[in-house]
Chain A
């Protein structure tokens, strides 16, 4: 049984082009120019899915983006995408569509049994049905509800579509390429403005594509042709304006052959010509397949050459549906009009009579009949007759598409003359035109478009007067006249009179919401879930508001609307993510020595954005094995580590010393040239921000290093201080993190290693004492040698321009090979510093004070520095603050874990404890696990036995609180 038949001629389809596609596994055929929806209708597929809750048979309601019923899962496997409206999908060879929400098929759906339980699924049924009888009932029901809910299913396979983003800048963006949009783009384009015209349909023309008039088609083609000839005009089709944001930014999602292109556009002016959406009528069983919006029936007729097989009923409360009635009658369909008003306006009665159309005034629809497709319509009112028909075309009036202005935070306002909401205004440099303003005539739209464009040009200061737009030679617009909106009293059987087709919200649900006190449109929406499906209530919103207003005894304007938010139509997460997936998910930062590490057995670990060499294959195949060997290498011989990731900042200017003196807690004003000093800086709250060593290169130049993690923040902090607090200081800072590679040569044999690698350069204790610095020419560049140690051993850092880092690294390894020098990685580097008791990122967590970290004595008493006063706050000086401690494991058979919570031996193991472990390592020197941690009261408890609990694994171990400096407390090795 089919409702529609394809005409032999007419429409915009290309009958010479046959396109094969599959629907639920069946091979079907359509034509070029078809949408999936029109092709399915042409193939007799009127029933294309089942409804959300009740699994009622559903067919296409519309021919556009507002479609609530005809949603499909497209593609297979990785390209599978659910909830695609068939009305918006151009038919393409090989296209594969599957129906949704039905099993095994829409025509025989076992889940239709839900319909029997319909009374259980009314408004708020979640809250009422699944809350009891027990406290945890919801937890029991939830998985079942979630499994039953939802529309299509997303693929769980990695999406292979290629989505991307593109940024654009235009003088004028026109949204919508109907008559208003075309006119606006023509005027702006003729004036020389850089114009973007975006249309969600696959062709430019909007409502003109649904017209049968040759005159209008000529006008459309002329306009399109001219626009495409203008170099300053860009036109996009299948491109939907999704969001409008502050700063006149508009996003447009364009369907490309292999994915979505997401345009992010800054527009100096925006003309919204987004048109209007027709509303259905509300009556019992208004959801059967074959009941469609009148405008959709007109589109299927004029654009896709599809007509109802023999008889159609048109039900309307306004004039616009008569064009559908006339078109159908001219195509040979027997048409009956159920007119809710006393009579149509103007000349339509005469025209209807000439075409043999029967009009029943003051008549609505009482009910419909049919199983899986509409079969009969029962008229209401004094003409209570039943009519057999294939299609029922309904029109409850038109709702201007106010979404984009709503995105800008502008509330829509109610216009009683058209019984709909219109934009409450426009943001600066935004304009409206055509049906989205509630101006429903074709010529009005063209005139609006022209006016809006002229206003936009004037706003942008364009002085060139463009040639006016020629009006199409058609009769003047009929005045738009509409009767009342839906009232509950008009609906004979409200139980299955649908408002929101996609979420199965009925007029009765609105009534229930009202009875239960959910009167506000915002409450009604959430209680009934109206307007919350993928169509976002495009066809249901106004009808629901009208009914609620009726129930409350107020007008719809007083009831108001909910707020529309982006996106205008559903977008996949993939379209938003664009290319930021897989290896492009986030940027990766690589050391200048990265390639060497990769080629020489390093295993990498992510550290922030950095990829760092974690450990090397020479030392073992697991980190646990490798880092211990690498630690031993440094403690007993010499190792080479990549420290290029440290933040490095050039501080220059006559006031550089004064600047650093204010930034660091300790003094830098008198640091001699050629010397480095460890420094700690606080933020303005008195908490430790970062630490590092800073070297004085000349009287006016310092080389500041930061921790890897804080490099960016410290750089920003210094810039901020110079620009906002101390603009009088003559200092410039520049990041050198990328400019210099750095390597640590560490271990008792490090001096020998450098002597081998850098012959002729004196690195003796006298020439380069602990914390000494010097720049030396070597190998065609300049090296910066610094006698620094993070490991606690005799050690040096060698920094050089990053271009030469690999060459220098290889040279050191080769030259010092007789000493058995080898590389060591991040795990060993971090473990060595724990043994030495150096704090690092895990301890510098923006919550600890100088005193917490045992660094209070560093703070200068005389000079001012950032955070000096606030660090002395009472709470920051409290003796029971959590302070840095060393921890030794007392139970060697057990494991010590970072993050463990610390308790006194007598404490109940419960709550947040008295501190926690920040860093753990195996100590090669002490032959046991050791750790750094923060413990209440700190060193006052040195020597005490405590408990470390790790609740996630239900583990507890005994520890001893000790000094955080596990090795070489006198610094003998450092100064060797």
Chain B
């Protein structure tokens, strides 16, 4: 039997990107997500050496060329970047989550309004700035929303709910364009 290579497939494989004046929504896949946890402060120093400066509080993401690191709980981080789990210090408890989330990019001048139609979070530019992230819910499912530019966001939806979240977002965007 020839060597088998398993192909990756997104839960959003059946949808097309959405674009309308002031808003575009598309899947921004191909990312590596690793949850790293530990105990006390002991694991944070070597972790920082591996992935870069760690954010001090939940809600802030630090990005370098190689990694984006988010503190998602007092002793838990999400690390995004190629081969994020490689070379992590032994003190770290590593859980791969790349398949568990679907990353959707929302951008455009109406992106903040769209998000405010979906989640009970203050998405005002003065409150939610590039580098900020929030863990909240959309359509009753948990999501993490990361502001990557003034009018661009990454939304991490749970894989098994991703299609529903996508449809919810696109439906909300459609409404914006009818007002």
Chain B residues within 8 Å of A589, by CB: 160-161, 164
Q: Tell me if A27 is interfacial: C-beta within 8 Å of chain B.
A: no
- Would you call A730 and B6 a contact (CB within 8 A)? no
Chain A residues within 8 Å of B122, by CB: 167, 169, 266
Chain B residues within 8 Å of A732, by CB: 37, 75-76, 93
Chain A residues within 8 Å of B65, by CB: none
Chain B residues within 8 Å of A805, by CB: 9
Q: Tell me if A740 is interfacial: C-beta within 8 Å of chain B.
A: yes
Q: Tell me if A587 is interfacial: C-beta within 8 Å of chain B.
A: yes
- Would you call A801 and B4 a contact (CB within 8 A)? no
A:220-258 near B, CB below 8 Å: 256-258
Contact with A along B101-142 (1 / 0, CB 8 A): 100000000000100110111101011000000000001110
A:806-843 near B, CB below 8 Å: 806-808, 811, 815
Q: Tell me if B99 is interfacial: C-beta within 8 Å of chain A.
A: yes
Contact with B along A125-168 (1 / 0, CB 8 A): 00000000000000000000000000000000000001011111
Smallest Cβ distance from B10 to chain A, in angstroms?
A: 7
Chain B residues within 8 Å of A110, by CB: none
The one of B7, B10, B175 that contacts A579, using a Cβ cutoff of 8 Å: B175
Q: How far is the CA of A165 from the CA of B120 in the complex (A)?
A: 10
- Would you call A595 and B160 a contact (CB within 8 A)? no
Q: How far is the CA of A811 from the CA of B10 in the complex (A)?
A: 17
Known contacts A584-B167, A587-B139, A802-B99; A595 and B179 CB within 8 A of each other: no
Smallest Cβ distance from A448 to chain B, in angstroms?
A: 29
- Would you call B8 and A803 a contact (CB within 8 A)? yes
Interface size on B, residues (CB 8 A): 51
- Would you call B124 and A194 a contact (CB within 8 A)? yes
Q: How far is the CA of A650 from the CA of B98 in the complex (A)?
A: 14
Q: How far is the CA of A510 from the CA of B122 in the complex (A)?
A: 49
Q: Tell me if A780 is interfacial: C-beta within 8 Å of chain B.
A: yes
Interface SS of chain B: helix, strand, loop or mixed? Answer: loop
Q: Tell me if A592 is interfacial: C-beta within 8 Å of chain B.
A: yes
Chain B residues within 8 Å of A586, by CB: 140
- Would you call B1 and A258 a contact (CB within 8 A)? no
Q: How far is the CA of A588 from the CA of B158 in the complex (A)?
A: 12
Contact with A along B12-28 (1 / 0, CB 8 A): 01100000000000000
With both beta carbons as reference points, the residue of chain B lying nearest to A232 in the complex is identified as: B126
Q: How far is the CA of A701 from the CA of B127 in the complex (A)?
A: 39
Chain B residues within 8 Å of A80, by CB: none
B:7-51 near A, CB below 8 Å: 7-11, 13-14, 35, 37, 39
A:604-662 near B, CB below 8 Å: 610, 650, 652-653
Smallest Cβ distance from A797 to chain B, in angstroms?
A: 17
The one of A583, A730, A740 that contacts B39, using a Cβ cutoff of 8 Å: A730
Smallest Cβ distance from A295 to chain B, in angstroms?
A: 33
Contact with A along B45-87 (1 / 0, CB 8 A): 0000000000000000000000000000001100000000000
Smallest Cβ distance from B83 to chain A, in angstroms?
A: 14
Q: Tell me if A804 is interfacial: C-beta within 8 Å of chain B.
A: yes
Q: How far is the CA of A759 from the CA of B4 in the complex (A)?
A: 10
Q: How far is the CA of A942 from the CA of B167 in the complex (A)?
A: 53
Smallest Cβ distance from A819 to chain B, in angstroms?
A: 15
- Would you call B100 and A806 a contact (CB within 8 A)? no
Q: Tell me if A317 is interfacial: C-beta within 8 Å of chain B.
A: no
Q: How far is the CA of A258 from the CA of B13 in the complex (A)?
A: 32
Interface size class of A (residues with CB under 8 A): 35 or more
The one of A266, A579, A595 that contacts B14, using a Cβ cutoff of 8 Å: A595
- Would you call B159 and A802 a contact (CB within 8 A)? yes
- Would you call A815 and B1 a contact (CB within 8 A)? yes
- Would you call B95 and A807 a contact (CB within 8 A)? no
Chain B residues within 8 Å of A807, by CB: 6-9
With both beta carbons as reference points, the residue of chain B lying nearest to A654 in the complex is identified as: B39
- Would you call A167 and B120 a contact (CB within 8 A)? yes
B:131-179 near A, CB below 8 Å: 139-141, 158-161, 163-165, 167-168, 171-172, 175, 178-179
With both beta carbons as reference points, the residue of chain A lying nearest to B119 in the complex is identified as: A167
- Would you call A590 and B163 a contact (CB within 8 A)? yes
Q: How far is the CA of A815 from the CA of B124 in the complex (A)?
A: 54
Chain B residues within 8 Å of A737, by CB: 100, 160
With both beta carbons as reference points, the residue of chain B lying nearest to A735 in the complex is identified as: B100
A592, A802, A804, A807: which has the most chain B beta carbons within 10 Å?
Answer: A802
Q: Tell me if A734 is interfacial: C-beta within 8 Å of chain B.
A: yes
Smallest Cβ distance from A709 to chain B, in angstroms?
A: 15
Smallest Cβ distance from A779 to chain B, in angstroms?
A: 4
- Would you call B139 and A736 a contact (CB within 8 A)? no
Q: How far is the CA of A332 from the CA of B48 in the complex (A)?
A: 84
Contact with B along A785-810 (1 / 0, CB 8 A): 00000000000000011111111100
With both beta carbons as reference points, the residue of chain B lying nearest to A739 in the complex is identified as: B100
Q: How far is the CA of A650 from the CA of B8 in the complex (A)?
A: 22
Q: Tell me if A336 is interfacial: C-beta within 8 Å of chain B.
A: no
Smallest Cβ distance from B16 to chain A, in angstroms?
A: 15
- Would you call A779 and B4 a contact (CB within 8 A)? yes
- Would you call A164 and B117 a contact (CB within 8 A)? yes
- Would you call B11 and A780 a contact (CB within 8 A)? no
| 3 residue pairs, one from A and one from B, having the closest CB atoms | A779-B6, A169-B122, A739-B100
**Can you offer 5 A-B residue contacts whose CB atoms are under 8 A?**
A257-B179, A734-B35, A781-B6, A803-B98, A808-B6
Residues of B in contact with A (beta carbons under 8 Å apart): 1, 4-11, 13-14, 35, 37, 39, 75-76, 93, 95-101, 113, 116-117, 119-122, 124, 126-127, 139-141, 158-161, 163-165, 167-168, 171-172, 175, 178-179
**With A168-B116, A738-B101 given, can you name 15 additional A-B contacts, CB distance below 8 Å?**
A165-B117, A167-B116, A194-B124, A256-B179, A590-B11, A594-B11, A652-B93, A730-B39, A734-B37, A736-B95, A738-B158, A739-B100, A739-B159, A803-B8, A804-B7
